[in-house]
Structure 1
């Protein structure tokens, strides 16, 4: 992963050299990685080419703080083709921010695999609606299996948890334990979800870029294996935006989907009040990526201070 991250920055170094440096600089991480290297799912399913099968899954390790990750990964190349961080998993958000951009960028997958969650209903509806535009029409357009059977996706979540979720969760749990934040307060919930979600998106983007550029032993680099994408591409007009797709879902199936899912309640009565808080926060913390970088290196104080500043500033301006 570090080799992949360095590659995204134009730095190319041998794996043995990187490994020896990491072993010296971060001995606890190295030891944890060494002991957990074999804790992988045994035999994944077979995907024969880019676009054969795609997996979509959600990660809710930070759900209690208003952050949920959703990503889509190609089964053959192991390339993460789309990802998003949202307050609460939602059909329209998943379709708009994950499935739609993945298909427009890479093409139609022959089969989309998900778990049995209701949050994928709109995605599966559109996948089935566009079934004739796939490369291999003999396969079912989608398959719902238990989470433990989504082998390809499950292998990346430990990386997300260790490199993004757990450091921020540690800081948040400490704030809760010290009674510095009250997660029963709607305004606090809104602020926690807002800032933490932004930091998680920064971390997830970094991780995905590194993952897609790292070498998988015995297989290759996901970016290279993905090649030109799926065999079948579709024009943009066949894939409407989420609101229009949801209307089509309602018309054909006779049931409606939740348009918006929020964590807490937006406390601002005017856009000007919201802009005032955003400007105050930006003046105090012009680069929030630094908050994330320090938190994942066990320096939680800046993130905690920024969150408390945001809550206080919001309370003053609503």
Structure 2
């Protein structure tokens, strides 16, 4: 205890950053200051009146966790749930959140205990925010007309842009992923993607902006195998477990029951339309939670990315997708697929589409409720909504 007294200011500072007693003891050991145990740090904090300020009561936290379980399903453990609560402005320690998760829903707790963790042992290094930007697509729901695309900063692990679309498309990925990522955070030194052709427009623009980068010694982009696109590949199991697999179960059940057929173009269009909207709700929640949760040994993505990329690009240098696509085709003599659809758009006019959407919204005004049910194992509301959408659509075609 006497040895700790000589480092009062340091320990107080570490405590105020939110580190646990065990983390403080480990930090002191890693800094080669002095060996000490978690109990020694705990006694020191008690002696100096260092107590955690609870920003929310147990009762209020239980209510918040209960509501969040309904929104996120069984796969959010204490770390992800703490991040999800933090993204909504409710801050609580992981230990408290974990205890409430165990007590509040024992079946979900056992489900998480039995689940296997996905670990990536391959070493990875990014020097700063803006060093590497990873882009990748997820096609677990591709047979139902749903593709997710993420952009992740390599240094902070923050998801800086994301989108859900019926079919992966160069113009959509540029407009909804690359362009907003660069406009909101600055220009990355290097973009990393796999060998998919859907990223050609992003790579074309990254090449044109390459002279504006912080470090010109690096190639502006790299195309590697998917297994080497480390930062973003790490995220797909989280998205699959929390979004894609629950929805896929509901849709496969409809196919097994022969309630729908993917051979019909109207059915394909409606399945893609509804599933894209519902899965985007779940993806938004995963992104919010991921960016606000603490990664052991690294920190919180939102905090690690606060410095932004050092190079900012004006909006004039980042034209909209249609302009960049024209530049691409003229410069390279190649053609791009401007619009990608899943199935055939059944509407003959925009007016018919608006009327169908209005009729559907009368019965289903809040799409998030459909996701809430699906992620908690209740497929019926989502399946009923899909059948309803198909019936409404048929009335206007």
Q: Which residue of 1 aligns with 2:260?
A: 181
Instruction: Please tell me the root mean square deviation across aligned C-alpha atoms, in Å.
Output: 1.3
Q: How many pairs are equivalent?
A: 318
Q: Which residue of 2 aligns with 1:94?
A: 173
Tell me, in whole angstroms, the C-alpha distance in 2 between the residues paired with 1:37 and 1:226.
29
Greater relative contact order: 1 or 2 (C-alpha under 8 angstroms, separation 6 or more)?
Answer: 1
Q: Which 4+ runs in 1 deviate beyond 3 A?
A: 24-38
Report Cα offsets for 1:250-289 as digits up to 9, x if no partner.
Answer: 1111101110100011101112211111111110011111
Q: Is residue 118–residue 237 contact of structure 2 (8 Å, CA) maintained in 1?
A: no
Tell me, in whole angstroms, the C-alpha distance in 2 between the residues paired with 1:88 and 1:80.
21
Q: What's the secondary structure of 2:167's corresponding residue?
A: coil
Q: Which of 290, 294, 310 is equivalent to 1:211? A: 290
Residues 267, 38 of structure 1: alpha-carbon distance in 2 compared, 3 angstrom cutoff: closer
Q: What's the secondary structure of 2:346's corresponding residue?
A: coil
Q: What's the secondary structure of 1:224's corresponding residue?
A: helix
Tell me, in whole angstroms, the C-alpha distance in 2 between the residues paired with 1:50 and 1:197.
31
Q: What is the TM-score normalised by the length of structure 1? A: 0.97
Pairing 1:114–2:193 present = yes
Q: Which residue of 1 aligns with 2:9?
A: none
Pairing 1:267–2:346 present = yes
Q: Which of 163, 166, 171 is equivalent to 2:242? A: 163
Q: Which residue of 1 aligns with 2:371?
A: 292
What are structure 1's unaligned runs of at least 5 residues? none
- Where does 1:20-99 land on structure 2 (aligned, <5 Å)? 20-27=99-106, 29-34=108-113, 36=115, 38-99=117-178
Tell me, in whole angstroms, the C-alpha distance in 1 between the residues paired with 2:123 and 2:198.
24
Tell me, in whole angstroms, the C-alpha distance in 2 between the residues paired with 1:37 and 1:140.
37
Q: What's the secondary structure of 2:134's corresponding residue?
A: strand
Task: Give how far 1:25 is off.
Answer: 3.9
Report Cα offsets for 1:53-93 as digits up to 9, x if no partner.
Answer: 01000000000000000010000000000000000001111
Q: Is residue 360–residue 388 contact of structure 2 (8 Å, CA) maintained in 1?
A: yes
Q: What's the secondary structure of 1:82's corresponding residue?
A: strand
Task: Give how far 1:28 is off.
Answer: 5.1
Q: What's the secondary structure of 2:171's corresponding residue?
A: helix
Which of structures 1 and 2 has the bigger CA Rg?
2
Residues 13, 274 of structure 1: alpha-carbon distance in 2 compared, 3 angstrom cutoff: same
Q: Is residue 106–residue 228 contact of structure 1 (8 Å, CA) maintained in 2?
A: no
Q: What is the TM-score normalised by the length of structure 2? A: 0.78
Pairing 1:143–2:143 present = no
Q: Which of 357, 375, 382 is equivalent to 1:278? A: 357
Tell me, in whole angstroms, the C-alpha distance in 1 between the residues paired with 2:382 and 2:333.
45
Pairing 1:253–2:323 present = no
